[in-house]
Amino acid sequence: MTGSTLTVEELDDRVVVTLRRPEARNAINAAMVRELHEVCTVLEERPRLLLLTGGDGVFAAGADIGELRERGRDQALQGINSRLFDRIARLPMPTVAAVDGYALGGGAELAYACDIRLASPAAVFGNPEPGLGILAAAGACWRLRDLLGASVAKQVLLAGRRLDADDAMRLGLVAEVVPTDDLLKRAHALLDRMARSGPLALRLTKLVTDAPGGHPVTDDLAQAILFESSDKSVRMDAFLAGGRS
Ligand code: COA
């Protein structure tokens, strides 16, 4: 499955999506939104890990400004990007963004919507939307606060602070900074690590971690499901028999 703006590689335990609009620095246009929704459909139907990356030294330079320029109130209320990024955030299995170069505006929001981010030393996160007279309305105003706290989020959102790879690492926005040439290899290693866990356990852990409330009831319910799974018995028997993974 490959669209005009994405390369999509479907593997047994993961799907790898590469944003491909190099002529527009991977700016997210309507076609890319549509194709990313198609990827979501695939992952909802058959849950797998997702690795999302850019190419040519850029993750994504934001929503497509040419398209944004023409949008009015009704398109804003459709939540074109916010709904897509919410859908990505709610994918059943963990998602990883491998960020090399700019992740600005909607590009940053796409990375914020993923569960884990890895960065190259060239990564730059920022939300310059107010400079264009608009709001970062596809998640940055609340996801960035959840990820980094209100103080840093407001520096990014209100004062145009850009977070380079060192900042992102120090602030916990990214799990690791790795040389560009190793970025995908490290991302795959992280996915390998997750792929060794029980898939249902990962799925329920993500669901419970993101649950808006209801703790500890949700945690107990999820655990009740997992305690009855044969995967749990197999994994614990293997541990007790001395086979460590
Ligand atoms: N939407 C539409 N087109 C974009 C774009 C965006 N968000 N970001 C870059 N492009 C286009 C440019 O218009 C340019 O097109 P052209 O070659 O037809 O003139 C092309 O991509 C290359 O961009 P350029 O600015 O020349 O590349 P650069 O490497 O010098 O700079 C950036 C890269 C990301 C710093 C710069 O493109 C930029 O600031 N982009 C906008 C970021 C932004 O404000 N995002 C928030 C949007 S909500």
Q: Are residues 222 and 104 in the same domain?
A: no
Q: Are residues 226 and 150 in the same domain?
A: no
Q: Are residues 33 and 116 in the same domain?
A: yes
Pocket residues for ligand 1 (CB within 6 Å)?
A: 24-25, 27, 61-66, 102, 104-106, 128-129, 132
What mean pLDDT is predicted for residues 8-22? 97
Q: Are residues 226 and 115 in the same domain?
A: no
Q: By three-state DSSP, how is residue 124 classified? A: strand
Q: Are residues 18 and 104 in the same domain?
A: yes
Q: Are residues 162 and 205 in the same domain?
A: no
Q: DSSP secondary structure string, 164-196?
A: EHHHHHHHTSSSEE--GGGHHHHHHHHHHHHHT
The closest alpha carbon to 125, from 112, 139, 134, belongs to 112
Domain membership of residue 1 (yes or no) is: no
Domain count, the chain: 2
Which of 23, 25, 112 for mutating ligand 1's site (highest number of atoms within 8 Å of CB)? Answer: 25
Q: Are residues 176 and 72 in the same domain?
A: yes
Domain extent, residue 41, equals: 6-195
Q: Looking at the predicted structure, is the pLDDT value of residue 169 above 60?
A: yes
Q: Are residues 144 and 180 in the same domain?
A: yes
Q: Are residues 172 and 60 in the same domain?
A: yes
Report pLDDT digits (tens) over 176-218: 999 999 999 999 999 999 999 999 999 999 999 999 888 888 8
Locus of tokens 């970025």 = 183
What mean pLDDT is predicted for residues 35-63? 97
Question: pLDDT at position 215, please?
Answer: 83
